[in-house]
Amino acid sequence: MRRVLIDTGAIYAFVVRTDKHHAEAKAFTKSLLATGGSFVLTDLVFAETMTLLKARLGSPVALRVGRELRQNPIYQWVSLGTEGEEETWGAFQRYHDKAWSYTDCALLVLTRRLNVSEVFAFDEHFGQIADVVKVP
């Protein structure tokens, strides 16, 4: 079964109809689910998504999306944990010359830890990371 890590920008694009990547996000999600695939969602991406949605669209939207992410079985939840956080901090320091966010570094760490090479994102930074395929 295909598993794809999901980034905040992808969730946002899926939710917000006016986002320039909305149609692409919906089409990719539909195709992944049609083949039995699923998303891997980390606690850090969840927190970042809730903060972004609440700030831009208000609490009702953030709560609706948060409930969907928590209850829908297509999302496999993964906690970064203490070891993952330490690895993320190490990656954040190591790649200080890149414009990668802390969350980007966490997703990099998880691709390696979980042996998942694909990240559903619209952030071009993922194109700079060796062995990581940015989808769609």
CATH number at residue 74: 3.40.50.1010
Left (φ > 0), alpha (ψ -120 to 50) or beta: where does 43 sit?
A: alpha
CA distance 27 to 14: 9
CB-based burial, 99-113: b 16+ in 10 Å, e otherwise: ebbebbbbbbbbbee
pTM of the predicted protein model = 0.94
pLDDT tens sequence for the chain (136 residues): 899 999 999 999 999 999 999 999 999 999 999 999 999 999 999 999 999 999 999 999 999 999 999 999 999 999 999 999 999 999 999 999 998 999 999 999 999 999 999 999 998 888 888 788 999 9
Domain assignment of residue 13, given as a range: 3-135
CA distance 98 to 46: 23
Residue whose pair of structure tokens reads 């993922």 in the numeric block: 126
| Domain count across the chain | 1
